[in-house]
Amino acid sequence: MSSLKIGIAQLNPIVGDLAGNAARILESAIEAKQFGVDLLLTPELSLCGYPPRDLLLNPGFIEEMSKQLADLARQLPENLSVLVGFAGNNPRSILAGEKPLFNSTALLNSQGIQEVFHKRLLPTYDVFDENRYFASGKESHYFHLHDLKIGVTICEDVWNDEEFWGKRQYAVDPIADLAALNVDLIVNLSASPYSIRKQILREDLLAHSAKRYQIPIAYVNQVGGNDDLIFDGHSVAFNRQGEVIYRAPGFTSSLEILEFENDFSPASLYPIPETEEEEIYRALVLGVRDYTEKCGFKKAILGLSGGIDSSLVASITTDALGRENVLGVMMPSPYSSEGSITDALALVHNLGIQCEKLAIQEAMTAYDRLLEPLFAGTSFGVAEENLQSRIRGNLLMALANKFGHLLLSTGNKSEMAVGYCTLYGDMNGGLAVIADVPKTRVYSLCHWLNRQKEIIPPNVLTKAPSAELKPDQKDQDSLPPYEILDEILDRLIEQHQSSRQIIEAGFDPETVRKVVKLVKNAEFKRKQAPPGLKISDRAFGTGWRMPIASRWS
């Protein structure tokens, strides 16, 4: 059997940047050719970036993509084949009433487009909405290279092994169809978003398929952050026995060369992060860096309260952008404790970031005076408390606008779930960094950060959480302890359990009913929140489509 050198280009595209993405692919192709590569793999929709969403509804965008694809082919080095993901027109759309596009992969060489393969399985769960744009490919295909039959699949096409799942998710199984065609190798071009420990699931699934059909599999995944989604890379290859023989580094671009002759020869095997905390932290750093850079910002600003949430976000942002590109702003009120100010200053020292202080008492007094005629005869309450947060939000937005910085909000998932956050206050911002990180996980991440040296001040880790909007306020005054709250939220949001099921699991009925009501009532806030980086299987973002005006209970 012929031998083959395969390059796996784990790329970080920018959605919509057709010329830029083509240049990245060409750069990888030129580098791969220097190592004698015969076939270069790039991720799903690598030419336009994933997910392109409603850019796909623009005919001009599709037309330009087609031109870029043809231009890219002409520029490729000779005797190199490249698989490039793109969105192409469906000629059957008018006659057959199908969607106008395919999610496709083109086999290119310097002579032009040689073959085109269409994605067969189109996911519509969680963040995916591919039936909105694409028609399904009708059959599985392969191409010949060096006398080898190489089967092509795109992302979801490998996620339908009924033996692995215990059931079929779709009516057809492209992997089984390619096995029936006696292919020598299966390649999969993916843009698979990150969630905690998803790589372990990917590898278990792909290993099972490779071993079941005795066919080697090479899998290339996109890397980088696009809006709320993070792509972790971790491209892999498996031999016929289902053993992983190559794994790309996570959360960074890479190019690796694999030797194939009847089977893969062992190659680099970069480790999966040892702990969930390391994995999550690296994902969030990548998400902040790419969101900032791809949106055209150079620096970021955030409020520093001396609390654990803003401390974690400040650390993530510093690692993402560099200490010289982060501005923290302290905005103490009469209710801010001296310890909070001291803790914020200690964090600033540990991180080496710039810090400014804007005391808000004068602004609070002005608001109180302005509202006094209308608030007369009422008692101090949530409205007055929230004024402090909104004053801070206004100041941060003013600074962000003035200096062109990206404002980062610092609320966690527990707060977002139950509405323990203020519209037009602490929810202000262009990106919610830890909006998918529960409060208990915030603590574990901060402890992980401090494993070798102090980054998060010790007092931040031990003091009771507080918004400090009134004297001696504690989060637990109005919320269950976070250990209980987060478990209820996990069952409700991640596991889709009913109130009855949660109560039957041993939780206090009154507490459960209160939490469920809070989650429902906070939906209008979440709809107005900045995009939050997704790290779980059920985030308050693209994949969360709950109604605001409803009577669900």
Catalytic residues: 44, 119, 155
Token digits of residue 293: 């850079």
- The secondary structure of 136-192 as a DSSP string is PPSS-EEEEETTEEEEEEEGGGGS--HHHHSS-SSS--HHHHHHHTT-SEEEEEE--
Q: Residues annotated as binding site for L-glutamine? A: 125, 192, 198
The residues pairing with 5 across neighbouring beta strands, listed in sequence order, are 259
Contacts of 497 (CB under 8 A, 6+ apart): 491, 505
Q: What's the rounded Cα separation, in Å, for the pair 518 and 390?
A: 21
Token digits of residue 418: 């139950």
Q: Residues annotated as binding site? A: 125, 192, 198, 303-310, 386, 410, 415, 525
CB atoms closer than 10 angstroms to residue 473:
16
Mode of pairing for the β-strands spanning 39-41 and 3-10: parallel
- The secondary structure of 516-532 as a DSSP string is HHHHHHTHHHHTTSPPB
Label residue 330 left, alpha or beta by phi (over 0 means left) and psi (-120 to 50 means alpha): beta
**Cα torsion at 450, 453, 459, 463 (round to 10°)?**
10
Judge contact between 482 and 514, C-beta under 8 A: no
Judge contact between 427 and 530, C-beta under 8 A: yes
The residues pairing with 223 across neighbouring beta strands, listed in sequence order, are 232
**Cα torsion at 338, 339, 342, 348 (round to 10°)?**
-130
Q: Residues annotated as binding site for deamido-NAD(+)? A: 386, 415, 525
Half-sphere exposure of 162 (CA within 13 A, CB side): 9
Residue 467's SS3 state is: coil
Q: What's the rounded Cα separation, in Å, for the pair 368 and 380?
A: 11
Alpha-helical runs (H) found in 322-381: 338-351, 361-375
Token digits of residue 491: 């069952």
CA 116, 255, 221, 132 dihedral sign is negative
Q: What's the rounded Cα separation, in Å, for the pair 152 and 158?
A: 10
Contacts of 42 (CB under 8 A, 6+ apart): 9, 11, 25, 28, 82, 83, 84, 85, 189, 220
Mode of pairing for the β-strands spanning 406-409 and 431-432: parallel
Q: Which long-range contacts (CB under 8 A, 24 or more apart) does 269-276 make?
A: 269/244, 269/245, 271/247, 272/199, 272/200, 272/234, 272/247, 275/448, 276/196, 276/197
